[in-house]
A and B are shown apart, each in its own frame.
Chain A
Amino acid sequence: MELADKAVGFLLTAISISIFVYYTFWVIILPFVEKDHFVHEYFLPQEYAILLPVFAGVALLSFLCVFVGFVMIKSNNKKKSA
């Protein structure tokens, strides 16, 4: 159990660091690299740097709202039956 927690923690840390490094490189450093450099092949066009986080945020928010709604419905049903 403890080991699984540690593994999940390590996974979260690794994911967050890699997202941060990739996004920093994409947004901050890439505009200063020439247009025909081979590095550009590994990144989506610049518009996606806004679109993807906004889409992820909207998805996260909707998921949270659905989750909270489900929990509220469940607790309401429990109160009625009790």
Chain B
Amino acid sequence: MNMKHILKILALLVVVAATWITLLETSVVPHHYTWLLPVYLVVSLGCYGLLMVGVGLMLFPTCPQEAVLLQKDIVEAKEFFGRRGVDVGSD
């Protein structure tokens, strides 16, 4: 699974490099615009990373009702062990 991912990324890089070199060689577009392409790709990658971090922070899943249930379970377990003489410490 991981290996495939690396291969995909490598293939993408090769395709981009090939496109860029062809653009440089054939000079369909003026040269100083062609030089902008890798910089543009790097900037897009940075933006994508920032976007993913932002979306992940925004949609971070929390479950407050589960937290309440867990606290209830803890209290119950402490009571149970306290009745049987096991020391589980105070709150």
The total of chain B residues at the interface (CB under 8 A) is 22
Q: Is B58 a contact of A2 with CB atoms below 8 Å?
A: no
Residues of B contacting A: mostly: helix
B 33-57 to A, binary, CB cutoff 8 A, 1 in contact else 0: 1011001101110011011011111
A46 to B50, CA, bound (A): 24
Contact residues of B with A, CB < 8 Å? 32-33, 35-36, 39-40, 42-44, 47-48, 50-51, 53-60, 62
Contact A57 to B36, CB < 8 A, known contacts A6-B58, A8-B57, A16-B47: no
Q: Which B residues lie within 8 Å of A19 (CB)?
A: 43, 47, 50
